[in-house]
Amino acid sequence: MFQHVLPVLFFVLAPDLIFTAGISDSDRGNGSLENRLVISIDSVTGASLYAEDDETEVITRSFSPGRIPKALIVHADPKNDNLTAALRDRMAEILVSQGWEVEVRSLYEDSFNPVATADEVSYQKPSPDSIDPQVAEYQALITKADAIVLVYPLWWKQPPAMLKGWQDRVFSYGFAYEFVNNSPDSVISLLAGKKLLIINVAASSKDTYEDQGYLHYLDLADASLYGASGIELARRHIIYSSTKMGMNEKKDCLEELSTLVPLIMPSY
């Protein structure tokens, strides 16, 4: 499962992999756990971004029915050996350490098909048996999650096409929103109460995004989609000028993620 690359650690997560913390000894022995993943971090797997003597043990199982905070991390980057992947992994570790149940999904590892069909972009509620299993699986995860964390690079100041296609197909009519009396001016939000954190990596500077209006464009597009769904955009956290960053700056970016967790805490 592990690949040895420099300068960052990465691990490929199976599609149904769940991170969770706080597993009791009884849980360990009763067969309820699906898997155990031990992440060993050393000079070979990427000590330049992670402490050489660090070792994290993570227990894996499915989302529990209880009131334990649950987060779905969706990664949309074809590379697993870069800063984006390190941010994904570190965010999962931080959440687990704070008692969250976390599922990490990579759209590229899932070979997600981003091409929407005519039926998927129509304003008709589909029958359950007509929904693509890939789409239905993500919709089920979103339904269970309290928070969604999107981690992806910005290419040409825009999200990857893979992520856009995922949004088009998953946040569909009848799942994310509905209309009142078939009027697009009257929307019923079906995913209210959930929170969204977006973590982006950008090559350009913050001044470029702000002065040229790109940041405003990104916020407008996400406000339209997630606003209609009722999901609260807690924060867009952009790491600017990433290609000019030194290793110490990248380490700081990873540790800074802990400050974002309070923004997505569920209200219960």
Domain positions in the chain are 64-264
**CA-based Rg of the chain, rounded to a whole angstrom?**
19
- Give the list of residues 6+ apart from residue 156 with CB closer than 8 angstroms, or none: none
Q: Is the pLDDT of residue 155 over 80?
A: yes
* Highest averaged pLDDT of the listed ranges 5-14, 16-25, 247-256: 247-256
Tell the CATH superfamily of the 64-264 domain: Flavodoxin domain (3.40.50.360)
Q: CA 230 → CA 68, 85, 174, 178, 206, distances in Å?
A: 21, 28, 13, 11, 28
Q: Are strands 183-189 and 195-201 parallel, antiparallel or unpaired?
A: unpaired
The model's pLDDT over 44-86, given as tens digits with 9 standing for 90+, comes to: 222 334 433 344 444 444 578 888 999 999 999 999 989 999 9
The model's pLDDT over 170-201, given as tens digits with 9 standing for 90+, comes to: 999 999 999 887 777 789 999 999 999 999 99
For the entire predicted model, the pTM comes to: 0.79
